[in-house]
Structures are given as C-alpha cells and as structure tokens.
Structure 1
Amino acid sequence: MLRGLYDWTLSLAARKSAEWWLAFIAFVESSVFLVPADVLYLPMALSRPDRAYRYALVATVASVLGGIAGWFLGHYAYEALAKPVLEFYGKYEQFEALRLSSGIGFIILMLVTSGLAHLPPIKVVTILSGVIGVNLLLFVVLAIVARGARFFFLAWLLRRYGEPIREFIEKRLGTIAAAGAAALILLYLLVRYAH
C-alpha cells in the first residue's frame, strides 16, 4: 500500500495542477497522510529550479495549516477521529507511550525534530500537541520554523546543486537529519533525567 501511495504522489509532479497537489499533500501529511511532501516537492523543484523557493513557501504554509488541523484533531476530536487514524496506521501504541511520558518541553523538541527530519512522524506530534494542550501560538511558531527550515533548505540545495544533489537528498539527507534529531532527543533526555 505504501509503495502505491508513494508512486501516486510522485506522479502528481508532472501535472499542471502540481502546485495545488503539493499544497494538498503537505497539508494532509501533517495530520493524516503517510507519504511526506518531499516526494512531490523534489521533482517539482528540480524541474523548475526558478520556482524552488515558491514551492517551498507553498509546502511550508500548507504543512503548518495541516499541523493546525492535526492539533485541533487531537484537542477536540481525539476519541472520535484521531485515535482511529492512529490505529489505522499502527501508531496508536507509539502515540500512547509518547503521551504518557511526555512533558511540554519534550513535545516542543519533538515538534522541531519531526518538522525537520520526520522523527517521529509529524502527524503523531501534531495530534499529540493538541491532546496535551500545547499552546496553539507556540505550536504554530515552532511548526513554521521547523517546516520552513526543511523546505527552504531543500530549495537552497536544489537551486545551488541541481540534479546531482537529488540522490544525496533522497538517500542520505533524511538519514543525516534523523541522526541529528535523534541526538537532540537523546541530549534532552540525558539533561532531563540527569537532574
């Protein structure tokens, strides 16, 4: 199923309506969809490097709006809507473990790391932020910074290096970003539990 979703998302890059699809995918990725917007963003930005920053802005705005939808889903409709979504994706146990063990500082850190490196998945963190009541304004600011940093950094890489950087981004950048995010989370846990 995941491979089919990935291929379908990638096929949208060739359409005239690709920019609208990018906004849609970035929006739903932040609350309910499995495939990251990068899958659509990368081929679009490579085919039109002059629009890379514009696409980054579209993806950032839509992703933040999707994150807000995820926050509202968690805050106001957890039992009715969010829980079934998490169960469908097999993320409910992971979500519950995070919910029971997370303070506001850890949620903030996870929002940044999931925005930058999809660790943990952004939809889990947006819903969790709503469930535990993270301040909505703080949530929005952090989402703008984290998601904007990711998409605009990708735009900069693609504008500067073009097609040769694509393989690096697709194969290695996610691993490097995930390792950095894991290191941040580990550092946070060490500092928190050392005191």
Structure 2
Amino acid sequence: MSEMIHSLEVWLLEYGVWGLILVSFADSSFFPIPPDVLLIPLSLANPSSALLYAFYTTLASVLGAIFGWFIGRKIGRPVLIKIFSEEKILKVEEAFNKYGPMAILIAGFTPIPYKVFTIFAGVSNIPLRILVIWSIIGRGLRFFLEAILIMTLGAKAKPFIEENFTMVTIVAGVVLIALFLIYKLLQKRKQVV
C-alpha cells in the first residue's frame, strides 16, 4: 500500500502546482495523501515561490473542506447510522457543536486526518462559514509555516520538517486547547459573577 501511495505522490509531483492543488483539495475531503508531500519538494525547488505555493495549498484545502462538509451534509449521517448507534452519533455531534471551531483549527494545523473533521462538520450542521474561517486559519498556519521554514532554512528545512514538524504542530495544538479551555473557564466565571 505504501508503495502505491509513494508512486501516486511521484506521479502527482510531475504535475507541479496542479498536482499540489489537486492533492490539497482532495486531502480535505476524501484522499489519504497530505499536501505537504508535494508542497515541500515544490517549495524547495523554487523557494521564492514557497509563499505562493502555500497560498494555493491553503485555498485548495479550504475548497476541499467545503466539499467534505457537503459530503457530510448529504451522505454522512446515513452512513454513520449504519456503523454507530444514533446515541453515539448524537454525543459526538454535541461535543462537535460545542468545540467544533477549535477541533477544526487543531485538525487543520496538526497531522490529524483533516477530512474526518470537515465531513463531520457537515454531519453536525456546523455553519459553513465557521468551517471556512477556521479552515483558513488552521490550514494557512500550517502551510505558510512550512513555506517560511523552507525560505529560512533552505535545504535544511526538509529534514527539520520531517523530524520535528509533527511534534511542533501537536505541541501547538495542545497549547491552543489549553488556551481555549482557560478562555471557556473565564467565560463561565464571568457568567457566575
């Protein structure tokens, strides 16, 4: 399976920016290959265009998230009902409606499979504008950070990203969750007072 995915990555890389746009769109809704595998080599080959590639990746990823949302809206619930009980689905929906924007942001920034969150946003009836706003922020942070690292570190960026980027995004995600929970706690205290 990994050989097939690697062959697909190499094939898509031959299409340059169009391959990057296609993968970025598809990754946010149904495809198993993250756009980073094309964004990084394209940006390393042409560092002066790294920010432009990050923009294309972010834009296509957000458009793919919208498509994932529509998948969730149209066919997500019927499929989930065949796999899980209605009670479990409602519990997850309740949590997603409560923490959805933060979940979308964190999934967009970290290596968590983003497509799961875009589809579930549709299933949970998260407003499309919420998905779009938090997708732009999460995906934009991720891809522009990679582009800036490539522009700053040059060829050293690839091993740095491969070895450290996952941990950096996870730590940043944990910090975001902590800040969000502190914010919610402070909001509750204001309501009590």
Q: TM-score, normalised by structure 2?
A: 0.82
Match of 1:69 in 2: 67
Residues 19-168 of structure 1: pairs in structure 2 closer than 5 A: 19-79=17-77, 83=80, 96=89, 99-100=92-93, 102-119=95-112, 121-168=113-160
Three-state SS of the structure 2 residue aligned to 1:33 is coil
Partners of 1:2 and 1:97 in 2: how far apart? 35
Larger radius of gyration: 2
**Structure 2 vs 1, CA of residues 96 and 178 (structure 1 numbering), >3 Å: closer, same or farther?**
farther
Instruction: Give identity over the alignment, percent.
Output: 30
State whether residues 93 and 124 of structure 2, in contact with CA within 8 Å, keep that contact through their aligned partners in structure 1: no
* Change beyond 3 A, Cα 1:33–1:43: same
Which whole-Å CA distance do the structure 2 matches of 1:136 and 1:113 have between them? 17
Cα distance in 2 between the residues matched to 1:98 and 1:179: 27
| TM-aligned CA distance change 1:51 to 1:190, over 3 Å | closer
Q: Determine if contact 1:10/1:39 at 8 Å carries over to the other structure.
A: no
Q: How does 1:151-190 map to 2 (within 5 A)?
A: 151-185=143-177
Q: Aligned pairs, how many?
A: 184
Residues 25, 145 of structure 1: alpha-carbon distance in 2 compared, 3 angstrom cutoff: same
Query: Contact 1:117–1:177 at 8 Å: present in 2 too?
Result: yes
Unaligned runs of 5+ in 2: 189-193
User: How far 1:175 sits from its partner (Å)?
Assistant: 1.7
Distance in 1 between residues matched to 2:174 and 2:10, nearest whole Å: 28
Aligned CA distance change for structure 1 residues 115 and 98 (closer, same or farther; 3 Å)? farther
* Paired residues of 2:57 and 2:143 also in contact (CA < 8 A): yes
Coordinate RMSD, CA, aligned: 2.8
Q: TM-score, normalising length from structure 1?
A: 0.81
CA shift at 1:100, angstroms? 4.6
Unpaired runs of 5+ in structure 1?
none
Match of 1:9 in 2: 9
Change (3 A) 1:98 1:175: farther
**Consecutive aligned runs of 4 or more in structure 1 exceeding 2 Å deviation:** 10-13, 95-101, 182-193
Once residues 56 and 134 of structure 2 are traced to their aligned partners in structure 1, the CA distance between those partners, rounded to angstroms, is 17
